[in-house]
Amino acid sequence: GSLLNMIFNIIWLLVFGWEIAVAHLVSGLILAITIIGLPFAQQHFKLIPLSLFPFGRELR
């Protein structure tokens, strides 16, 4: 990754990223309570690293 991506990731983490990551964590924990919600909980947990450091990443 480039230096610019790293700088943007740090700014993003401090301003928005941590709040979005906490929201994904809480949503995932709530969904994990039921069997039907488990696949959705897994997807929320997978989105936590992306919500923390989105620049230079690619969705698959």
Give me 27's structure tokens.
């949503």
| Residue 56 Ramachandran class (φ > 0 left, ψ -120 to 50 alpha, else beta) | left
Assess if residue 44 is contained within a domain. Answer: yes
Assess if residue 30 is contained within a domain. Answer: yes
Domain hosting residue 40, numbered range: 3-52
* pLDDT band at 58; cut points 50, 70, 90: confident
d(CA 33, CA 12): 30
Q: What is the pTM of this model?
A: 0.84
The residue among 56 and 46 whose pLDDT is bigger is: 46
Q: How many domains does the chain have?
A: 1
Find the angle CA(20)-CA(25)-CA(26) to the nearest 5 degrees: 100
Assess if residue 28 is contained within a domain. Answer: yes
Residue 57's pLDDT is 81
Q: In one letter, which amino acid is 4?
A: L
Residue 1's pLDDT is 63
Assess if residue 26 is contained within a domain. Answer: yes
Q: How far is CA 47 from CA 3, 4, 27, in A?
A: 23, 22, 11
Model confidence over 4-36: pLDDT tens digits? 999 999 999 999 999 999 999 999 999 999 999
